Chain A
Amino acid sequence: MLIAGITVGSIYALIALGFVVIHNVTGVINFAQGEFAMLGALVAITLSEKTMLFNRSVSVRLEWPLPLAIAVAALLVAGVGMALYRFAIRPANTRSVIVQIIITIGAAIALRGAALIVWGTDPHRLPNFTNGAPIKIGQAVMTQQDLWMVGTALVLLVLLYLFFQRTLIGKALRACAINRTAARLMGINVNTMTFLAFALSAGIGALAGIVIAPKTFISYDSGAFLGLKGFVAAAVGGLENETSAVIGGLALGLLETLAAGLLSSGYKDAIAFIALFIILFLQASGIWRRGGGSRDAAGV
């Protein structure tokens, strides 16, 4: 059970990271984050398997090798992410939270609808990345795909960590998040950085979707729940802290598997939201933030 929790948790952690990256650099909460996961999976499936598109009227038989399909899918979705910034968020140029939220919701709806048109309501699946005997770790048994899931999540997390902590560009991205004006004074082009943030977020989201696709069926509306849960995980860190987002994701996965065992499985999704409430209220009362609030809290 622990393994199952960590497995699904690592996916949530990845999606959560996508939220945090975009929020940090731009302050926007991307309600379309889950859709990136869905798109990544569906595009990868289309590239590597025989798929019927457009209401069974078009048949696609690219059948590319899986690694190639995955790479291309992630890059394409990264492109979608950049387009989202360029054509929906940047032109709006607004500081109103409501408007930004509605824009990303609109984008999520549009992406979902587009997916519906292209792939219909059929659920799709990727084959297992490798086929082989399940692996025994202590008392628990992990399928090879589970290993891929956790492994990919781990690798991505490590790569991201190194990127943000060791490379200059990664640090520049973090700088944009910490203090936009000071970052500009360093000569950092915040616009370019924002593109990068969106591309990165979308790419990570796509990979998260791809890696979960062999285990669960993905269809046009899978993005909604994934996105929501990723958000809960990200909210643990106040949407600002990458490490907390990862911890949040893992914790959520564990909580969910535990709850599914104890409560009826219909309510397992509710756990996520109850956890969310508790976290949000704790945050609102400022327990998790150090110090007695900030000078700018009053906005004066």
Chain B
Amino acid sequence: MFILVALVLAVLPLILRNNYQVSVLVFIGIFTILTVGLSLLMGYAGQVSLGHAVFYGMGGYGAGILVLRAGLPAWAAIPCAAMITGLIAYVIGIPLLRLKGNYLAMATLGLNIIFFLIATNETALTGGPNGLQGYGKLTIGPLIFKSDRQFYYLVWTVALVVLALSLNIVNSRVGRALRAIHGSEVAAETLGVDTARFKVQVLVLSAIYASLAGSLYAFWIGIVSPGDFSVNFSTELVVMVAIGGLASVWGAIFGAAAVIMLTELLRNFLPRLLGSTSGELQIVTFGVILMLIMIFLPEGLTSGIVNRLRARSMRRQENKT
């Protein structure tokens, strides 16, 4: 399965002629890295995070700042930013993850907003509301990453690595421990699962993933501004994970793809239908779709559809006998 997807991805840009389409795929790749991490956190470990964009932003701003202010070369700035983000996630995570449910959700939201405010106000460090730019291109050895196609391969390589690592984790005792925590934290504790430690671990991991995504984004687009890491984006991430399936690593790709395709669809086709209200309609549609999915398919699209199909085929078998 994995190899199939990798092959398809490798071949895709050669088929597509349109650069625009390639860039859409790059976006999907970046968002996949984000959603896989969030899926581990929310879907498997069951910890609500409405502020995940904060780690994305730390990666983006972190890389840019390290290049501009600390003079690091781009290829070193990315892992550095990731490590710093991971550290911050660790330090915040220990007290943060003692909160449950709604309180955790609100705390993560607050975290995101504070980050947003710092990014907007600390102009000397972050370039203020207009954003940070001028940190140059990403170079790894002799390779200078300029074109969409180059970024496509880079981003998807990282995405596939992240995917592989996450699948391994999910199928290991760590994944089971996370699902146990989600299933019944009390029972997990009495079976020897150190719930606090696992929760923090998965938070740090998803934060590192998000940071990598943010750094890649920064070097691709060339500018990072506070608006890219707002609470709205965090919400969009949650939508992607929810649509794809909260507890499904593959669902993460699907969710990211679905949301972006939908956005593109609305952006391109709706003006032809309704004049120029596409942007607003997209927002409303998002909201309505989100609600509908949560109401009827709370396990998300992938698992939800799979379960429904399985149930229907079992019923058909029963009717035959």
Contacts and interface: CB of A to CB of B under 8 A. Distances in A.
Nearest to A110: B287
Main secondary structure of the interface of A (DSSP, over half): helix
B277 A101 contact: no
Contact of B121 (A102, A266, A281): A266
A15 B183 CA distance: 34
B95 interface: yes
A138 interface: no
B287 A112 contact: yes
Contacts of B78: none
A107 B289 CA distance: 10
Given A266-B120, A269-B113, A276-B107, A99 B294 contact: yes
Contact of A97 (B48, B111, B242, B291): B48
B238 interface: yes
Contact of B280 (A97, A113, A270): A113
A105 B110 contact: no
A280 B107 contact: yes
B281 interface: yes
B165 interface: no
B234 to A, nearest CB: 10
Nearest to A220: B280
Nearest to A94: B298
Interface residues of A, number: 49
A281 B298 contact: no
Nearest to B298: A99
B284 A117 contact: yes
A105 B298 contact: no
B80 interface: no
Interface string A52-67: 0001000000000000
Interface stretch (B25-33, B83-91, B97-105, B200-208): B97-105
Contacts of B99: 280-281, 284
B157 interface: no
B283 A112 contact: yes
Contacts of B253: none
A281 B186 CA distance: 21
Nearest to B295: A92
Contacts of A108: 287
Nearest to A285: B98
B246 interface: yes
Interface string A206-233: 0000000000000000001000100110
Most buried by A among B46, B107, B120: B107
Contacts of A163: none
B290 A228 contact: no
A141 interface: no
B298 A92 contact: yes
A109 B113 contact: no
Nearest to A269: B117
A235 B290 contact: no
B20 to A, nearest CB: 25
B283 A113 contact: yes
A109 B235 contact: yes
A257 B193 CA distance: 46
B206 to A, nearest CB: 15
B280 A92 contact: no
B109 interface: yes
Contact of B101 (A97, A105, A266): A97
A284 to B, nearest CB: 5
14 contacts: A55-B275, A55-B277, A98-B42, A103-B291, A105-B235, A106-B286, A107-B287, A109-B286, A113-B281, A113-B284, A113-B285, A267-B117, A269-B117, A280-B103
Interface of B: 42, 46, 48, 50, 95, 98-99, 101-103, 105-107, 109-111, 113-114, 117-118, 120-121, 184, 186, 231, 235, 238-239, 242, 246, 275-277, 279-291, 294-295, 298
Given A106-B291, A224-B231, 4 more contacts: A29-B106, A97-B48, A106-B287, A116-B280
What 9 pairs between A and B have smallest CB-CB spacing? A110-B287, A113-B283, A113-B284, A109-B287, A106-B290, A273-B110, A106-B291, A116-B280, A97-B101
